[in-house]
Amino acid sequence: MSKVGFIGLGNMGSGMAHNLVEKGIYLNVFTRSKSKMVPFVEKGAFSHKSIKSLTNDSELILACLPNVETSIEVFLGKNGILSEAKPGTIIVDHSTVDVETSKLIWEKSLDKNVYFIDAPISGGPVGANEGTLTIMCGGDSIAFEKAKPIFNKMGTTVVHMGGPGTGTSMKIVNQLLTSVNTVAAMEAAILADKYGIDLNSVIKILSKSFGGSRMVERNMPIYMKKDYENSSAPIRNIVKDLKIISEMSNQMNLDLPLTSLSLNLFEETDKLDIDEPDIASVAIYINKLSKDKEV
C-alpha cells in the first residue's frame, strides 16, 4: 500500500505512527489535537485537517482510538471514514472495542465495497514505540495479506485470527488475563513483601516458575518503586475493557467470577486520589482492604 492514513495519536497511536514514518511509509495523519501532528510532519508525514481529507488521500487507513463511541464516530459518523472511502480501500481499527462494534463496522463496509479489519493490539506504549506489538486481526484474508507488510512495521507478532470480529475477540481474551493476572501479581507482591522476601529475588524466581507471568514482570517493579501516577497504562483503560467483557459475558450467559472481582477492584482503585493511576496501583486498594480489617 503506497499511501497510508493514521487517525489517533495517543499513547499507542503515536508510537505506531512513528514506526511507520521512520520506516519510509507515505503517511497521512489526523488527530483532534493539531499540536500532536507537528512531530510527524517534521519527520515527513502529511497532516490533514479532517478525516475526509485523510481518507481521500489514503489506500489503507488505520485508526487507534480510545473507546467504542469514538470508533463508531470515526468509522461510521456523518463525516467519518466510510462516508468518503473509495471502493477497495482497506480500513483498520486497532482500538479495543466490543465484537458487536467490529462486526457493525464490517457490515457497513461491505455496503461500500470497502475492506474492514479489526486489529487490536497488545504490548503497551513500549511495544508501540519499539515496533514490537502483537496485532491480532479479524476480517477478509486477502485484505489482511495486503495490509500485513504495514502491520509488520509496527509489530513482531501479526496473526490473522479468522473472520470479522475474531481479532477483537482475541483482544478481549487477552484483556481478561491482563486484568486478573495483574490483581494476582499484586497480591503475590504484597504477600512476599509481608514475609520480608526481597522482591527482586521474587521476580527472578517467578521468571523461571509456573507462577510467573508478563504481569509479574511488568507490575512488580512498579510496586517496588511505588511509581503509580501519570501512567501510560492507566486503570481507566482496563476498567473500560473489563466493562466490555462484562457486558459480553452477560449476553452469552457466562459467569466469569475472577473478571467480575477484578473489575470491582480496579473501579475502587480508580476512586482513590491518584493522578492517572497505573494498573499496578490496584495494590494500594488491596492493602487498604487489609488495613480496614485491622480497624
- For 50, other C-beta atoms within 10 Å of its C-beta total 11
Across the chain, mean pLDDT equals 96
The DSSP bridge partners found for residue 159 are 136
Q: What is the CATH number for 38?
A: 3.40.50.720
Q: Average pLDDT of 17-35? A: 96
- Rounded to whole angstroms, the Cα distance separating 251 from 230 reads 34
pLDDT band at 291 (very low <50, low <70, confident <90, very high): confident
Predicted local confidence at residue 293, as pLDDT: 66
**One domain for residues 139 and 177:** no
Domain with 250 in it: 170-294
Question: Quick check: is 171 catalytic?
Answer: yes
Predicted local confidence at residue 82, as pLDDT: 97
**One domain for residues 128 and 27:** yes
Angle among Cα 15, 19, 22 to the nearest 5 degrees reads 130
Predicted local confidence at residue 1, as pLDDT: 62
Domain boundary among 139, 162, 185: 162
- Rounded to whole angstroms, the Cα distance separating 30 from 9 reads 8
Tell me the CB-side half-sphere exposure of residue 109, using CA atoms within 13 A: 26
Say if residues 117 and 90 touch (Cβ distance below 8 Å). Answer: yes
- Residues 115-167: tens digit of each pLDDT: 999 999 999 999 999 999 999 999 999 999 999 999 999 999 999 999 999 99
**One domain for residues 194 and 217:** yes
pTM of the shown model: 0.92
Per cent of the chain over pLDDT 70 is: 98
Which residue in the list 52, 171, 194, 240 is annotated as catalytic?
Answer: 171
**One domain for residues 56 and 107:** yes
- Rounded to whole angstroms, the Cα distance separating 124 from 8 reads 15
Domain boundary among 127, 146, 162: 162
Q: Average pLDDT of 235-254? A: 95
**One domain for residues 45 and 130:** yes
**One domain for residues 188 and 106:** no
**One domain for residues 43 and 70:** yes
The DSSP bridge partners found for residue 95 are none
**One domain for residues 155 and 187:** no
**One domain for residues 139 and 39:** yes
- Rounded to whole angstroms, the Cα distance separating 101 from 112 reads 17
pLDDT beyond 80 at 280: yes
Residue in the structure block whose three cell numbers are 506489538: 133
Total number of domains constituting the chain: 2
Q: What is the CATH number for 251?
A: 1.10.1040.10
**One domain for residues 106 and 123:** yes
